[in-house]
A and B are shown apart, each in its own frame.
Chain A
C-alpha cells in the first residue's frame, strides 16, 4: 500500500515539476544561448548512436522483407515496406530510445551531480531560478533535437535497407528508389516529427525531474540515470500507441 502511495506521490511531483518547467519555457526569457549549447551537445552526442542503431535496423528489415516478398515475387515492393516501416515507426522509436539512453541519461547525471554537490542550492541562494537556467534549456534542446535525430535515423535506416537490397542482394537500384514512396507519403515523415517532438518532451522532462530530485550521493545519481532511461522509454512507447492510433488508425 505504501509503495502505491509513493507512486502517486512521485506522479504528483512529476506533474508539478513539468508544469513549472513548461510555464517557464513559454513565459519567461530563459537563456537562449544555453539552450543552443545544450542542443548542439545533445545532437552531436546522439547522432552517431542513432545512425549506428537505425542503419543495422534498416538492414535487418530489408533482409527479412526480401525473404517474404520473394515468396510472392514482389521484390519491387521491398523499398515501399522499408519506407513505411522506417518513416512511421522504426526511426521515431529508435531515435527516441537512443536520445533517452544517451542524452536523457546525461541530463540526469549532470543535474543529479549538481544537486548532490549543492550547486542547485547555490544557484538559488544567488537569487537565480535554477529551473530557468539549468532545466528549461535542456528540455527545449530535447524538444528540438529529437525530431532532427528522427530525420537522421530515417535517412540512415533507408540507406541500411538500400545496402542490403541493392548492394548485397542485387536488386535494381532504380526500382528501389522509385518505389520508396509508393506506400508512404511525406505526411509519414511529418507524423514521425510530431511523435518525436512529444517523445523528446517526455525524455527531457523525465530526465531533468529525476536529476533534480536525486539524493544519496554517487549511488543516487546512478539510480537517477537508471530510472530515467526506464521511465522515459516506457512512457513514450505507451504514448506511441495512442499517437499511432490517432495519426493512422482511421486512415
Chain B
C-alpha cells in the first residue's frame, strides 16, 4: 500500500516537473553547468571502473572459452558483451552512485533546511530551478560517458589480451571492430540517455521527499542509489529485448 502511495507521489512529482519545464523559460546556463558537473565529476571513477571491467572481461572470456579452443574469438566476446551490455549498465550504476546520490543529498539538505520552501515563497519554481537543469544535463552527458567507457573498456581488454594472455592484438581488434556495428553504439547511447533520465528522476524525487534530520538525508540518498540501480537493470532487459531480441 505504501509502495503504491509513493508511486503515485512519484507520478505527481514527474508531472509537475514536466509541466513546469514547459511553462517556464529553459534554464540554459544552469543546464550547461550541471552537464559539466555531472560529466567531469563522474569521469575519473568511470574511467577506472571501465578499465577494470575491460580487463576482467578479457580474462574471464579467455579462461571460459579456452576449453573450446575459441580463444581467438575473444575479440567478438569483448565486443558483444562489453559494448552492448556491460558499458551502458556500468555507466548507469556509477553515475547513479556518484551523480545520483549527490543530487539526492543536495536536494534533501535543501528540503530539511527549508530552502525549497524559501524558493517557493520567493515565487521561484523549485522544479524548474532544481530538477530541470539536472535532468537535461544528465541526458545530454550520459551518452557521451557511455561511448568513452566503451573505448576505455576495449583498450584495457586489448592490454590484457596482448600483455597478460600473450595473444596477438591485431586479430583481436579486428574482431572487435567487425562485431561492433554503428547500431550497437547508437543503442548504447540511447540506453545511456534513458538510464540517465531515470536516475535523475528517482534521485531528485528521493531528495524532494526526504525525511527530516541528518538520518533522513542519509536514508534519502541510500534509497536514491538503490532504486535507480534496480530500475536501470530492469529497463536494460526491455531495451535489449527490443533492440536485439
Surface stretch bound by A, among B7-15, B32-40, B145-153, B217-225: B217-225
Q: How large is the interface on B (under 10, 10 to 19, 20 to 34, 35 or more residues)?
A: 35 or more
Surface stretch bound by A, among B22-30, B92-100, B119-127: B92-100
A159 sits at the interface (CB 8 A): no
A136 sits at the interface (CB 8 A): no
Is there an interface contact between B56 and A109, defined as CB atoms closer than 8 Å?
no
Say whether, besides A106-B218, A113-B218, A222-B105, A183 and B64 are in contact (CB < 8 Å): yes
CA–CA, A88 to B57, complex, Å? 11
CA–CA, A150 to B207, complex, Å? 30
Is there an interface contact between B213 and A233, defined as CB atoms closer than 8 Å?
no
> Which chain A residue has the least Cβ–Cβ distance from B215?
A113
Say whether, besides A102-B222, A105-B221, A226-B102, A112 and B60 are in contact (CB < 8 Å): no
A24 sits at the interface (CB 8 A): no
Say whether, besides A64-B80, A219-B105, A101 and B225 are in contact (CB < 8 Å): yes
- Give A58-82 interface residues, CB cut-off 8 Å to B: 59-61, 63-64, 67-68, 81
Say whether, besides A97-B93, A110-B218, A218-B214, A49 and B67 are in contact (CB < 8 Å): no
A167 sits at the interface (CB 8 A): no
A244 sits at the interface (CB 8 A): yes
Is there an interface contact between A64 and B225, defined as CB atoms closer than 8 Å?
no
Contacts of B236 in A (CB 8 A): 56-57, 60
A230 sits at the interface (CB 8 A): yes
Surface stretch bound by A, among B44-52, B133-141, B169-177: B44-52
A44 sits at the interface (CB 8 A): no
Among A59, A110, A116, A226, the one with the most B-chain Cβ atoms within 10 Å of its Cβ is A226
Surface stretch bound by B, among A15-23, A28-36, A235-243: A235-243
A53 sits at the interface (CB 8 A): yes
CA–CA, A217 to B108, complex, Å? 13
- Give A135-156 interface residues, CB cut-off 8 Å to B: none
Is there an interface contact between B108 and A57, defined as CB atoms closer than 8 Å?
no
B53 sits at the interface (CB 8 A): yes
A166 sits at the interface (CB 8 A): no
A170 sits at the interface (CB 8 A): no
**Interface 1/0 per residue, A192-222 and B, CB below 8 Å:** 0000000000000000000000000111111
Is there an interface contact between B241 and A63, defined as CB atoms closer than 8 Å?
yes
Tell me, rounded to whole Å, the shortest Cβ–Cβ distance linking B58 to chain A.
10
Is there an interface contact between B237 and A56, defined as CB atoms closer than 8 Å?
yes
B21 sits at the interface (CB 8 A): no
Is there an interface contact between A49 and B230, defined as CB atoms closer than 8 Å?
yes
B202 sits at the interface (CB 8 A): no
Tell me, rounded to whole Å, the shortest Cβ–Cβ distance linking A171 to chain B.
15
Q: Which of A57, A89, A105 makes the CB contact (< 8 A) with B233?
A: A57
Is there an interface contact between A230 and B222, defined as CB atoms closer than 8 Å?
no
> Which chain B residue has the least Cβ–Cβ distance from A247?
B63
Is there an interface contact between A226 and B105, defined as CB atoms closer than 8 Å?
yes
A225 sits at the interface (CB 8 A): yes
CA–CA, A60 to B104, complex, Å? 29
Q: Which of B67, B98, B219 makes the CB contact (< 8 A) with A109?
A: B219
CA–CA, A224 to B215, complex, Å? 12
**Interface 1/0 per residue, B198-231 and A, CB below 8 Å:** 0000000000000001111111011001100110
A133 sits at the interface (CB 8 A): no
Contacts of B112 in A (CB 8 A): 218
CA–CA, A211 to B58, complex, Å? 36
Is there an interface contact between A244 and B218, defined as CB atoms closer than 8 Å?
no
CA–CA, A110 to B236, complex, Å? 32
Contacts of B104 in A (CB 8 A): 222
- Give B59-90 interface residues, CB cut-off 8 Å to A: 59-60, 63-64, 67, 76, 80-81, 84-85, 89
Is there an interface contact between B59 and A244, defined as CB atoms closer than 8 Å?
yes
CA–CA, A238 to B48, complex, Å? 8
Tell me, rounded to whole Å, the shortest Cβ–Cβ distance linking B157 to chain A.
12
Q: List the 8 closest pairs (A to B, CB-CB), nearest first.
A: A109-B218, A222-B105, A113-B215, A56-B237, A226-B101, A105-B222, A218-B214, A229-B97
- 6 further A-B contacts with Cβ under 8 Å, apart from A101-B225, A106-B222, A219-B217, are A52-B230, A63-B245, A85-B60, A109-B218, A220-B214, A222-B221
Mind listing 25 A-B residue pairs with CB under 8 Å? Answer: A56-B236, A60-B236, A84-B60, A89-B56, A97-B229, A100-B97, A101-B96, A101-B97, A101-B222, A101-B225, A102-B222, A106-B218, A109-B218, A113-B214, A218-B214, A222-B218, A222-B221, A225-B101, A225-B221, A226-B105, A229-B98, A230-B101, A233-B97, A234-B45, A237-B48
